[in-house]
Amino acid sequence: MDKNSSVFLTEVDTYLFGQGTNYEIYNKMGSHIAIKDGVCGVYFSVWAPAAKEVYVVGDFNEWKAYGYDCKPVSDGGVYDIFIPGAKVGQFYKYLIVTQEGEALFKADPYANSAQLRPETASVITDLGQFEWSDSKWIQNKTEEDHLKVPLSIYEVHIGSWKKKNNGTQDGFYNYREIAVELASYVKNMGYTHVELMGIAEYPYDASWGYQVTSYYAPTKRYGTPKDFMYLIDYMHKEGIGVILDWVPAHFPKDAHGLANFDGSNVYEYGDPRKGEHPDWGTKVFDYSKKEVTNFLIANALFWVDKYHIDGLRVDAVASMLYLDYGRTEGNWIPNKFGGNGNLEAVEFIKHFNSIMKHKFPNAITIAEESTAWPNVSGNPDTDGCLGFTFKWNMGWMHDFLEYMQLDPYFRKFNHSKLTFSLRYAFSENFVLVLSHDEVVHLKCSMLGKMPGDLIDKFSNLKLAYAFMTGHPGKKLLFMGQEFGQWNEWSESKSLDWYLLEDSMHQNMKDFTKKCMLMYKKYPALYGTDCNPEGFRWINSNDRNNSICSFLRLSEDGKKNLLFVLNFTPVVREKFKVGVPSKGKYVLVLGSDEENQIKSLTPVKEECDGFDYSVFIDVKKFGISIYEFNITKKKI
């Protein structure tokens, strides 16, 4: 048998592909180095079910189609060809002749590398021979309970986190260069993971990577596939997990991409009422086709298998679930029951989550889902459950930001915006998010959203992050907001790192770091995130004072935390707060730690439904977080 003969498609491969269950199809489809009859070359295969003819053209044949026609492998529309002499690094495309005789030059849907935009060819690549050093990391992740470990995510757009050339033009750092600096920064700040925007290749910078043309290729903007492997491996060595944004909801109409791939609707629904997003100008994947869902599910597995990714944040899940998403009345097609749920997309999502869990239990999946669709997170093998590990808590985000932007005087009239999220906090496995979407396009940066003068803005932002840290749910914060970026985020510019020369911004960064380190230190903040026994209000109804007080409780009753947060600029001296235990309460984080009492001793006075009380001098926009132990598990 020839070396690398395993890359050639078999009857079994094409059958499973047609059934939507060839989960490692990426090892066969696309372009792969192979030896046939003793000759070294490249094996190409592609799915083009409505094509009249299929050719491969590239550097190896001077882009001439004659003699390089692909042959059908099966009746399912899969074509292949072996080209002697083709080699790694050469550019290529598929020339597809439609039934009408039109010639289409298409990038390879399964290509592992692509040219840097604005060029659009695929690149022959060998993903082997990278020496990974993270086997222990992956094993540990496989054995952990993802719900009971800390998950604090630093959302990053590599191209604008930092730039060369004084931030002008592209100025991109290579994956290898950014790995060292980014890992050091994230580790120092106390985050557990980074979430990378825009990694799968895309043509238009301003899409931020959410309009993908090459799903199996890391973007060339920052280097080669091996460079990207280095970044992941280095992050793992430094104890940092890596989550990728993944976009199985839609794709752009670029001529070299998936749209009308062989002159017909191959990857997209044919009816525009189902197959196009009118708001985005993109195509919607046809989840009824097994080959399409195989393409997507295999792609998700590919990133975990080949690149050791720790998880996928799935973009725009709501747009997949609802047939009327972004569509006006009469411009969408109901499902067979007359409803607006996309039943095919639901089955695809369940299939994806189930296979991911069973093949790669080390990896997590996170849904960006903005509606009240039930059971988004949970066991994917349970009826009615979509099966994501976590769901973004968009309801909390909207209410909380509306509350924080209010003049403090009006907060007492909107107190429920602060507290309502606890009514549903345990209905899903949530991640609290303050993402890139909240600091772009006239939305203001996080610091810019805060009311008041300069000092009050910083005080309010610290208060916001303290509340976010204490609220049940894993955490995500977009880059730049940890130090109080003033400008809205733009993919074309570096973050304003010069702000850290100002003591207020440096102090803001230091406070965010304290929040992240506190979060990782205390199991009460992460071990019971998805368990209602891990949270208890002390007083959720003190709207007149706009003071919010609650407990975060550990499973063993040790190292619990008391939060008392003042959302007004009014000082409350010797403010009485009910507490569950008579032991010492020791300050672990405060807004004015030098002038705050370092420990409190409760007195036997009933308050807030508890037998004991403490008296706290609550500062202006005050943050008071105390550690305590309890002798009884139940309180």
Residues annotated as catalytic (active site), given as ranges: 315, 368
Cβ–Cβ under 8 Å, residues 251 and 207: no
Cβ–Cβ under 8 Å, residues 493 and 163: yes
For residue 41, give the nearest of 99, 84, 4 by alpha carbon.
84
For residue 415, give the nearest of 229, 543, 580 by alpha carbon.
543
Q: What is the distance between the alpha carbons of residues 185 and 190, in angstroms, rounded to a whole number?
A: 9
Distance between start and end Cα atoms, the chain: 69
* Residue-level length of the chain: 635
User: Residues of 254-287 as b/e, b for ≥16 C-beta within 10 angstroms?
Assistant: eebbbbbbbbebbbbbeeeebbbbeebebbbbbb
Cβ–Cβ under 8 Å, residues 180 and 234: yes
For residue 221, give the nearest of 207, 239, 233, 238 by alpha carbon.
207
Q: What is the distance between the alpha carbons of residues 585 and 577, in angstroms, rounded to a whole number?
A: 12
The values of phi and psi at residue 580, to 5°, are: -90, -10
The amino acid occupying position 195 is: E
Cβ–Cβ under 8 Å, residues 81 and 144: no
For residue 189, give the nearest of 407, 494, 515 by alpha carbon.
515
> What ranges in 384-442 are assigned the alpha helix state H?
394-404, 408-411, 416-419
The values of phi and psi at residue 510, to 5°, are: -60, -40
Cβ neighbours for 391, distance < 8 A, ≥ 6 positions apart: 366, 367, 369, 376, 377, 428, 429, 430, 431
Sign of the alpha-carbon dihedral angle for 500, 504, 505, 509: positive
Tokens read off for 585:
């309460």
